[in-house]
Amino acid sequence: MAYKINNSFGTLLVSLADGTIDTATTDIALIGKGYAGFGEKLNENLVKLLENFNNTTAPNNKVQGQLWFDQTNKRMNVWTGDKWRPAGGPTNSASAPTNAVQGDLWFDTTNTQLKVWTGTVWTLIGPSSVAGSGVTAVVSETSPDNTGSNQTYLKLVANDAVVGVVSNVAFTPSGTDATAQALVSAGFSTVAQGIQLSSAVGSASFRGSLTGTADIATSVTVSANNTTNETCFIAFVDGATGTQGIETDTGLSYNPSTNVLTTTASQAQYADLAERYEADCDTEIGDVVILGGKAEITKCHEDLSDAVFGVISESPALLMNAKAGDNDSHPMVAFTGRVMVKLHGTGKAGDRVVSAGNGEARVADLDKCTAFNTLGRLIKDKYSQDTQLTECVIGVK
């Protein structure tokens, strides 16, 4: 009577006639009743099952759930019914597996990266960059400090270069440990608490906006800039160039609400007080002006004028009424202090200066001077009759 061979689900696989053997239905021999020499085939079946069909090629007559040990890749596989897939752990290969199902892992041996199959594409798990080809990652590392205690920190790696370290404590790396010395070589002879940038990557610095609470830096790098025309804001450092410490002075304060700067004393290189006024004509340094004309000021064209107002200044020590966009149409008019004046004729130090017409000034006879027409006084003797820019102190009688 023939044997009826069923699978685990009760489905008939084959009907074996007495005295026969079937090697075509499955990868193990199915032995019929009364088959001579059945012991050899039975033992071979047990060996195949023990070895999980160990071979360089996959079994031909597989059934769902069958195991196969891939001799070439040293990998256990299982037949799902339509494909062989790894039975456990990632696939190690230089090229992507073609038999992956959703959730399978593949270790890319070419790039030493781990990836997962989403069902449609292989998605990288990590590392994000290929070793030796520009690694960019945040790496957790532990190394001993100079006291022998292990310290754990994060290394910020960009294109294979360690550009920063994040640590919850300050420490000095060990002088003997290889990992610690690699940290020193990367520019961290000491590690500060918090975020620290490497001294080995050039002029390392933070860029962009900083919000929240931050500690005051122990030093900043500054450079001298005496030519750029721009708006700058107040800061105090120890020197004009190089790495400098930041300083503060309790006698100097600024209130951003009222926009008021308060100090005990101030010092200026220049010597006059000036204010901007709109002129109705072209003016030059040293011109004597009066209030009036078609705008706010005009050149003084009268000799011994009682209307003298001030002198066009070149570099006032303090400039008032200065607004963005002011230009030559709003010259700086000095009222008091030392200023260069267009002075015609000779004079001696201390002589009183009055208007001479055409925007110029001259020395006046003492009996002709009044509180109204006196512009100021000559500071030094003048020997030339020519009109020259001459330093005077104005605003005094």
99-113, 253-267, 280-294 — most confident range: 280-294
80-84, 224-228, 245-249 — most confident range: 80-84
Nearest CA among 350, 336, 354 for reference residue 382? 350
Percent share of the chain, pLDDT over 70: 92
Kindly state the average pLDDT of the residues 282-304: 96
Kindly state the average pLDDT of the residues 46-58: 93
Residues 322-350: tens digit of each pLDDT? 886 677 899 999 999 999 999 999 999 99
Residue 343 burial (10 A CB sphere; 0-12, 13-18, 19+): buried
C-beta atoms surrounding 178 within 10 Å: 8
Q: What local confidence, expressed as pLDDT, does residue 249 receive?
A: 81
Q: With beta carbons less than 8 A apart as the criterion, state whether 348 and 364 touch.
A: no
Q: What is the DSSP string of 179-244?
A: HHHHHHHTT-SSB-SEEEE-TTSSS----S---S--PPPS-EEE---SS---------BSSSSEEE
Q: With beta carbons less than 8 A apart as the criterion, state whether 277 and 333 touch.
A: yes
Distance between CA atoms of residues 79 and 77, nearest Å = 7
Q: What local confidence, expressed as pLDDT, does residue 216 receive?
A: 56
Dihedral sign, Cα of residue 23, residue 29, residue 31, residue 35: positive
Among 51-65, 105-119, 128-142, 195-209, whose mean pLDDT is lowest?
195-209
Residue 334 burial (10 A CB sphere; 0-12, 13-18, 19+): buried
Please indicate whether residue 161 or residue 170 has the higher confidence score (pLDDT).
170
Phi, psi of 279 (to 5 degrees): -105, 150
- Whether residue 204 is predicted with pLDDT greater than 70 in this model: the reply is no
